[in-house]
Every structure is written in structure tokens, then in C-alpha cells.
Chain A
């Protein structure tokens, strides 16, 4: 096993999931509750990675963050180095690419919470954030957990975006999925078998957990 790749993969997946929790939960709550006319546009933007080949997303990401772009120069001014072919670059691209896997289950969970309970909380003096924390989240946590687990697992298995944005730099951007690709290219089938089996078992267990969470109905 390429333990450096395993460590890097877990780090990438954990950070991606964390950022998605911070960004995705408010975004999903807004999507689940807003009545604004342009909501479908945001909905579509969030869902686009589901249909887009990872190479397309990766390509546009590279174009938008290259050293000669505004974003690239901003990043170079604050940190050292460029966004493409760095861990930061892979992380940002990974967050974008995984947005629908986290946000869509969140939205479904929030939308299933009875609106009257939210209104009751507001009428009892709770601010919107407090209502979210004390009523919405406790009633939708299986969906939230499902979204986080899916995003984590999907990041672990991601290949195209990481390759496009990160290249294949050992210890920096080479994740397990890329390591397997390298092993196959090098005809090291033993190593490829080992890593693939680990990923397969991981994926199946994650899906089992997710589906059991989604089936879990709160005792109402």
C-alpha cells in the first residue's frame, strides 16, 4: 500500500467534507426555504457537477486559477505558489465538484422538516440561526449525515478532477485513485489489486451506511 497516498486521500476527503459542511449547510437551508424566483438557477449551478465530466470542471478551474488570472494572482499575493498542481487547488476543485453530493441530501432533509415547526420556533422568540440549530438540524440530521458521508466517500474515489487540477505529484496531489492508475500503467497489478479492493470495500460500506441512514425515519 502507498500509505502516503492513503494519508493524502483521507486529508483531502476530510477537509473537503469540513468545508462542505460550513458552506453547504447554509446554502442548502437557503435553497430549501427561499421563495425567490432565481432559486432554480442556483439549484442548477449546484447540480451541474453531477452531469459534467470531471475533465470539463477541471479544465475551467485551471483556466480560472492559472498564474495569469485574477484569482491566481490574488492567491500568489497572499500565499506562496500557484493554485493549479497544489493541494489547495485540488481541495478547492474537490469542494466544487462535491457540492451536489452534500447539498442535495441537505436540501431534501431540510425541506422535509414541517414548516410550521420552524414558524412555531420563530414565534417563540428564536432567531433564524437558533431555529436552525434547535429545530431544523435535530429533525434532519440523518439527511445531513448522509450528505457528509457521500461527499467524503466521493472525494476518496475522485479521479478526473484531481488529475486535471493537481497533476500527479506524490505526497502533494497523488491520491489512492491516482496511485492505482499509476500501478496499472506500471503493470504492478498486485499493488493495484490491493488498493482497489480497499476502495471497493470502503465504497460498499459507505453506501450501506448512507442508505440505512436515509431509511431511518425519526419516530414522529
Chain B
């Protein structure tokens, strides 16, 4: 059984456009992130799914319903697709209060049923007390919650989120990403999220789709896509540094022990034991040594085997196998001093503070 069956080609009068084809089975994975640089057409894909743009060719089927069949001239209007859309800047109605925004989709419900649903959503999205405020009187985070509450009012069968975090500054964005993940899990509605930020994919996505110049260049589970980008364009999108997905084994004094590939990695703890996390390690934060040394402050010292070396300007990018793949960037003269060759043994050293930990569950 297919949840979503998409095969579309859409071209703007300017000539830019998208050409995408994919199918999603029913059930897990529930959250898909479309990752791509600006201009890659990811928002256009979302607009086509919502029915806001009409592809010139192709079809979109959702479950057993046909949303679009260009050949037969079928194009279901957005209001008949039963979707929840979160727009980039939220698109809250400026003339309506929080309560009226949330209840905008209440048509067809009795007054008491609508009031009940509004109260339920205001509670779930922590908006109580803000009922009578206008959107301009809300913080960015509150606006996002209102927009989400409004989008899910009718219990849509699909959520579409366009750059949900880009309108927020960095600390607020990080905070809202946590909140957004919790809300999406709570809602248990399949979601498509469009983003240019790989952190969004790492923190939110079960499945990641890489988009470049209007085409899907790679798709798969987030771990697979980030582990093995298939092309250089894909590698640029996911970044070539090390990203590891693992589970927090234990937490002690704010320091987490995360198990990845049989090894233990120590990093700042963003969540309790048992939680899934993504660990991001920048290649320039990895030190390579010939011998282990106990008199270092760094908490992570892993025995490694050199797998590859590639010059990168004044640096050398070194691929290491520590039980997981680790990318290191070292000065060329330092690398020559170590006199290491692929196959040779070494130690990889990373300070716990240099590892960025993103919760995933």
C-alpha cells in the first residue's frame, strides 16, 4: 500500500522547474525532510503537493485518491486535499486573533465542537492565555505554534512544512526544533519538511531526500544518506564531515556516553539515557596522534586505522576507521611529520566539547 505516489514535472514561465518521482509506503518512516540549497526547487515540490502549483505533467496520488493527473486534467484544489501546511513565515491572518486563526478551519463543525477542538489545541500547543492576542503581538516561537495548531485543526492526513525554522534566530530555532520534533511525534501525522539546513534533517527526519536543481539526487534513511552521499553534490549538501547516529547509553554530570559502532563516544548530553542522538564532528576538530596519551584533556581517544588521504589546499583530509568512519582535516606538514600511510594505525582524538549532539527522539 502506497501512501504517496508522486511523479511530476513543473516548469515556471522563467524556465526553472522541478522533475521529481518518488513513492512512500504507508507507515514508518513518518517524517521526510527535503534537503536542498536555495533554488533547488524544494519549496516548489511542496507547493505542488499542496495543490498551489499545477504541474504540467505527471500525477500525485495519496492513498487511493488522485490529487493530480495532468493527462486527465484532474487537479484537486488545496481545500479538498485535507492537508496541513506550515508556511515559511507562518502566514497567520493578521486581522484575526490567535483563537480565530486556530479556528479558521472550523467550518462545518457545530459551535460547541469547534470550541472544544480550539481549547484542545490551545492546550496541546501551550497557547492558553494568548487567545485574544493578534499575531503581531506574539513571539516567533508562539507564532509557529499558532500556525501549527491552525494547520492540524481539521486532523489533516498529511503535514507539509516549508522551512519551519528559518524565520527564527539561531537559539530560538534550536529550541523550536526540539519542540517541533516533539509536536510532530505527538500528532503522528506523516510530515514532509522542506529545509536547506542539514541540522533539520538530522534532528527531524526518518527519511532524507536530497534535492538539487529541481531533481532528487538521493533519498533513503537519514543515516544512509548522511553516511554515504552518492555524488559530490550530495556530499556538499550533507557536508563531508562526520555525522554519527547512536543511542545515549548513560549520562553522568551532563556528559553522555553514546555507543556507535561498538565504540563509546563522550559528548555533552542533550537528553537522558536511551535517547537517539546525532553526533556531528567537524573534520578540523579531529587530532591525529601516533600514540595514545593519558595526559591529554580530550575525553575521546579512539584507536583508528588510516583509510584514505586526500590533499585539500594546505590541508590533508584523512579518512579514519575507528569502528565508525571519521573524517579528519590536518595541516599538510603535520601529516608528513606523522609519516602515516593508508593501512597504518593511529589514534583519533576529539574533545567532548567539539562534538555537537542533536537529539532525535
Residues of A within 8 A of B93 (CB): 117, 120-121, 135
Q: Is B177 an interface residue (CB 8 A)?
A: no
Least Cβ distance of B296 to chain A in Å? 53
Q: Is B154 an interface residue (CB 8 A)?
A: yes
Least Cβ distance of A99 to chain B in Å? 28
Is the beta-carbon distance between A117 and B79 smaller than 8 angstroms? no
A151-176 interface bits toward B, Cβ cutoff 8 Å, 1 = contact, 0 = none: 00000000000000000000000000
Q: Is A123 an interface residue (CB 8 A)?
A: yes
Residues of A within 8 A of B79 (CB): 122-127
Residues of chain B at interface, number, CB under 8 A: 25
Bound-state CA distance A117–B52 (Å) is 12
Is the beta-carbon distance between B104 and A119 smaller than 8 angstroms? no
Q: Is A114 an interface residue (CB 8 A)?
A: yes
A107-149 interface bits toward B, Cβ cutoff 8 Å, 1 = contact, 0 = none: 0000000101101111111110010001100110000000000
Residues of B within 8 A of A124 (CB): 79, 104-105, 150-151, 153-154
Least Cβ distance of A49 to chain B in Å? 32
Bound-state CA distance A125–B104 (Å) is 9
The listed residue (A119, A125, A139, A219) touching B91 by CB distance below 8 A is: A119
Is the beta-carbon distance between B85 and A138 smaller than 8 angstroms? no
Q: Is A220 an interface residue (CB 8 A)?
A: yes
Q: A117-B91, A120-B91, A218-B95 are in contact. Are A125 and B105 (CB under 8 A)?
A: yes
Q: A116-B87, A119-B78 are in contact. Are A125 and B107 (CB under 8 A)?
A: yes
Q: Is B136 an interface residue (CB 8 A)?
A: yes
Most B Cβ at <10 Å: residue of A117, A121, A125: A125
Least Cβ distance of B153 to chain A in Å? 7
Is the beta-carbon distance between A116 and B95 smaller than 8 angstroms? no
Q: Report B83-98 residues with CB < 8 Å from chain A CB.
A: 83-85, 87, 89, 91, 93-95
Bound-state CA distance A78–B83 (Å) is 50
Q: A123-B83, A124-B150, A127-B79 are in contact. Are A220 and B107 (CB under 8 A)?
A: no
Residues of B within 8 A of A135 (CB): 93
Least Cβ distance of B165 to chain A in Å? 17
Bound-state CA distance A121–B87 (Å) is 11
Bound-state CA distance A47–B144 (Å) is 42
A75-97 interface bits toward B, Cβ cutoff 8 Å, 1 = contact, 0 = none: 00000000000000000000000
Q: Is B202 an interface residue (CB 8 A)?
A: no
B95: nearest residue on chain A (CB-CB)? Answer: A138
Least Cβ distance of B119 to chain A in Å? 19
Q: Is B216 an interface residue (CB 8 A)?
A: no
Least Cβ distance of A184 to chain B in Å? 49
Bound-state CA distance A130–B80 (Å) is 14
B70-81 interface bits toward A, Cβ cutoff 8 Å, 1 = contact, 0 = none: 000000011100
Least Cβ distance of B144 to chain A in Å? 14
Q: Is B50 an interface residue (CB 8 A)?
A: yes
Q: A123-B50, A123-B79 are in contact. Are A220 and B91 (CB under 8 A)?
A: no
Bound-state CA distance A139–B83 (Å) is 25
Bound-state CA distance A196–B50 (Å) is 58
Q: Report B13-60 residues with CB < 8 Å from chain A CB.
A: 50-52
Is the beta-carbon distance between B107 and A116 smaller than 8 angstroms? no
Is the beta-carbon distance between B78 and A219 smaller than 8 angstroms? no
Residues of A within 8 A of B94 (CB): 117, 139, 218, 220
Residues of B within 8 A of A117 (CB): 91, 93-94
Q: Which residues of A contact B (CB under 8 A)?
A: 114, 116-117, 119-127, 130, 134-135, 138-139, 218-220
The 24 sampled A-B contact pairs (Cβ below 8 Å) are A116-B87, A116-B89, A116-B91, A117-B94, A119-B52, A119-B78, A120-B85, A120-B91, A122-B51, A122-B77, A122-B78, A123-B50, A123-B84, A123-B151, A124-B79, A124-B104, A124-B153, A126-B79, A127-B79, A130-B107, A135-B93, A218-B94, A218-B95, A220-B136
The 5 closest A-B CB pairs, nearest first, are A120-B91, A123-B85, A122-B78, A116-B91, A124-B105
**Given known contacts A120-B85, A138-B95, what 12 new A-B pairs fall within 8 Å (CB)?**
A119-B78, A119-B91, A120-B87, A120-B91, A123-B85, A123-B151, A124-B153, A125-B82, A125-B107, A126-B79, A126-B105, A126-B107
